[in-house]
Structure 1
């Protein structure tokens, strides 16, 4: 399974869903499935068609569970504006299924589970529930023994009313990876170098990428909505200099897709 195998909910939010929930503001219960084009792995220039769920489920008193592709967020705060709670992510690895004939020869990276926490603040900008902004961050640690590191993100979201019922969401985020995390996903070991012909490379900690995203949602009936989105990321630092990105892939990553959802 490639690294970005579940990058879609209603549409693209982030690779591996990092950067927090991109929840449509006017829905307290929402479930959708989307389909779209995603990179084969982070930094790949090959794409495939992927699909994943996206949803939010109210728990009362402003609390909720949010599902964003391969991640889950549980807001335990009763405060209307301040949000925080635990997160869980199923991070896909990289195996010999990838389309790149050289990268496919590298040692496989197993899937793993990451656990962490998120916090954020939501601002209402007018009486229209769709008109709001959110700011936040999260950190997640590997508990599956694959990379034994962590990834941390900060993000900002802005929602705009469109017509009577539509909503446009714009967002930006950056992700920082620890040394162990970056080494696992972007280094080329001596064994990999001998197998693939790529130069040896040791990735250190630092910013992994910066990204922007856009999502548009519009009702089609009382309970059904449709939407689409696009997500662009620029791989940075040691991740960008990795031979699997610089020589075999590309630093600019684009994800886009369409989806349909049910609200209640």
Structure 2
């Protein structure tokens, strides 16, 4: 985990989009908050957990083609979280590191991310999506979007699969989940600028498990809504 965090810090320092004038800009959003979401993927109960915000500041409204680091933090799964998990292996927290490709034209943006997990899962996950930006005032900006989440076999099997040993211990049928899209979501985000560098963030995500993931015996509820509230500070550097 410590190695993954060090890699994240290194990648952040490398997040320097090139402008047409030949100048280099580095823009980072760093902050934290609280998240209310499912206890684990497929859970029918919610829990409150920290929200770590670490991302390229240009991701939300970049114009033209952009490439930047992508970071994810995924909570663990403990057999004590739910009686339905009895007999299943525990999953540690995961740091995910990868890349984000984006394209923006006016208020519309499309993106694709791909990340590798370190910790609880060692698989590959990512998403494709699109957003529409609405500027309600100089301080308040809204984004509404759609998203589809992908996982390779290692990722999907970690959260939705049941091994032979787990099946014997839990009574659930042995299940193997291959690569593919596992979730579709509607997303709504808001950013309120308290100052030039500090903003309040709010995100609502209404997701539904799809494909083989939705059919997993581990899943108690296909619908997976979540809410995030946080405070972020933007650090910008020019070279």
Q: TM-score, normalised by structure 1?
A: 0.67
Taking structure 1 as reference, are residues 90 and 203 closer, same or farther at Cα in structure 2, changes over 3 Å only? same
**Quick one: distance in 1 between partners of 2:154 and 2:198?**
43
User: What's the secondary structure of 1:107's corresponding residue?
Assistant: coil
Q: How many residues align?
A: 208
Q: Which runs of 5+ in 2 are unaligned?
A: 1-26
Tell me the equivalent position of 1:252. 223
Taking structure 1 as reference, are residues 224 and 114 closer, same or farther at Cα in structure 2, changes over 3 Å only? closer
| Deviating more after overlay: 47-56 vs 186-195 | 47-56
8 Å CA contact 1:34–1:258 kept in 2: the answer is: yes
Give 1:148 deviation, angstroms: 4.5
Tell me the equivalent position of 1:137. 112
**Quick one: distance in 1 between partners of 2:74 and 2:93?**
6
Q: 2:181 aligns with which of 194, 202, 207?
A: 207
User: What's the secondary structure of 1:200's corresponding residue?
Assistant: coil
Taking structure 1 as reference, are residues 93 and 34 closer, same or farther at Cα in structure 2, changes over 3 Å only? closer
Is 1:243 the counterpart of 2:214? The answer is no
Taking structure 1 as reference, are residues 177 and 110 closer, same or farther at Cα in structure 2, changes over 3 Å only? same
Taking structure 1 as reference, are residues 233 and 198 closer, same or farther at Cα in structure 2, changes over 3 Å only? same
Tell me the equivalent position of 1:73. none
Q: How does 1:64-79 map to 2 (within 5 A)?
A: none
Tell me the equivalent position of 1:156. 130
Tell me the equivalent position of 1:33. 32
User: What's the secondary structure of 1:192's corresponding residue?
Assistant: helix
| Deviating more after overlay: 210-219 vs 229-238 | 210-219
Tell me the equivalent position of 1:70. none
Is 1:47 the counterpart of 2:82? The answer is no
Q: TM-score, normalised by structure 2?
A: 0.73
User: What's the secondary structure of 1:102's corresponding residue?
Assistant: helix
Give 1:114 deviation, angstroms: 4.0
Q: How does 1:219-238 map to 2 (within 5 A)?
A: 219-220=193-194, 224-238=198-212
Q: Which runs of 5+ in 1 are unaligned?
A: 1-27, 59-63, 67-78, 126-131
**Quick one: distance in 1 between partners of 2:234 and 2:152?**
38
Which runs of 4 or more aligned residues in structure 1 lie more than 6 Å from their structure 2 counterparts after TM superposition?
none
Aligned CA-pair RMSD: 2.9
User: What's the secondary structure of 1:243's corresponding residue?
Assistant: coil
